[in-house]
A and B are shown apart, each in its own frame.
Chain A
Amino acid sequence: SQTIHQWPATLVQPVGSPLSLECTVEGTSNPNLYWYRQAAGRGLQLLFYSVGIGQISSEVPQNLSASRPQDRQFILSSKKLLLSDSGFYLCAWRAPNRGRFGRAFFGQGTRLTVV
């Protein structure tokens, strides 16, 4: 069966420090991968998505970046965190070639607090 791992679960980082969040998927090949951010009490905003190794689409301009060094690994990074980067970060995957009906599977999320 397929599983998605996201870590760490919680993170407190000072302003200006770097960030690296990792997401890995098991049990599937060539998944579509997504990073979302959820501010407190709000919906989910798409940050990045990837349909293959090295292929990253950015939806929101910001000081974050994403990389996909391996088929089932998706990394969210920042060189210098801002206070506004605080939030709940979620990784998700969908099976490839399922078009608009494929269901998404979400990780448990990382709660990032920038202080």
Chain B
Amino acid sequence: DAKTTQPNSMESNEEEPVHLPCNHSTISGTDYIHWYRQLPSQGPEYVIHGLTSNVNNRMASLAIAEDRKSSTLILHRATLRDAAVYYCILRFTYYGQNFVFGPGTRLSVLP
């Protein structure tokens, strides 16, 4: 079962780095690790994804553990606009009544 677990909430100060963890101990060899974020009253937006190697883009960095059982989304300098719910997911469809996107981590950024 390709589930992920994340802390319910985290806080960060503005302009400081933020490390958002995600555990996915049952990840399969072909599962990619995806991160999305959702601002209030909007649909989720893509942040980053990776398979085995660490990944960087203009929004964030993704650090993937060597055994792939966990990963960390890194926002290098948090801004107030980064306040959102961050989701770590492995797949977009599941058979059964599982939530595809779990509750995620609600990130608060303090000025």
Q: Which residue, B31, B34, B93, has most C-beta atoms of chain A within 10 A? A: B93
User: For window 60-85 of chain B, which residues contact chain A by CB distance below 8 Å?
Assistant: none
B-side contacts of A57, CB under 8 Å: 93
Contact status B43-A43, CB under 8 Å: no
Contact status B87-A43, CB under 8 Å: yes
Q: Bound complex: CA of A103 vs CA of B46, how far in Å?
A: 7
Count of chain B residues with Cβ under 8 Å from any Cβ of A? 28
Which residue of B96, B101, B103 is within 8 Å of A59 (Cβ)? B96
A-side contacts of B101, CB under 8 Å: 36, 43-44
Count of chain A residues with Cβ under 8 Å from any Cβ of B? 27
Residue of B nearest to A105 (CB): B46
Q: Bound complex: CA of A101 vs CA of B32, how far in Å?
A: 6
Task: Let me know if B51 is at the binding interface, CB within 8 A.
Answer: yes
Contact status A45-B99, CB under 8 Å: yes
Residue of A nearest to B85 (CB): A43
Task: Let me know if A87 is at the binding interface, CB within 8 A.
Answer: no
Residue of B nearest to A49 (CB): B93
A-side contacts of B36, CB under 8 Å: 104
A-side contacts of B31, CB under 8 Å: 100
A-side contacts of B49, CB under 8 Å: 101, 103
Q: Which residue, B41, B44, B91, B97, has most C-beta atoms of chain A within 10 A? A: B44
Segment of A12-20, A66-74, A106-114 engaged in the interface with chain B = A106-114
Q: How far is the CB of A50 from chain B (nearest CB, A)?
A: 11
Contacts A101-B32, A105-B46: A42 and B97 contacting too (C-beta < 8 A)? no
User: For window 1-56 of chain B, which residues contact chain A by CB distance below 8 Å?
Assistant: 30-32, 34, 36, 41-46, 49, 51
Contacts A92-B43, A105-B46, A109-B42: A34 and B92 contacting too (C-beta < 8 A)? yes
Q: How far is the CB of B48 from chain A (nearest CB, A)?
A: 9
The 3 closest A-B CB pairs, nearest first, are A106-B43, A44-B101, A43-B99
Which of A's residues lie within 8 Å of B, judged by CB?
Answer: 6, 34, 36, 41-46, 49, 57, 59-60, 88, 90, 92, 94, 100-101, 103-109, 111
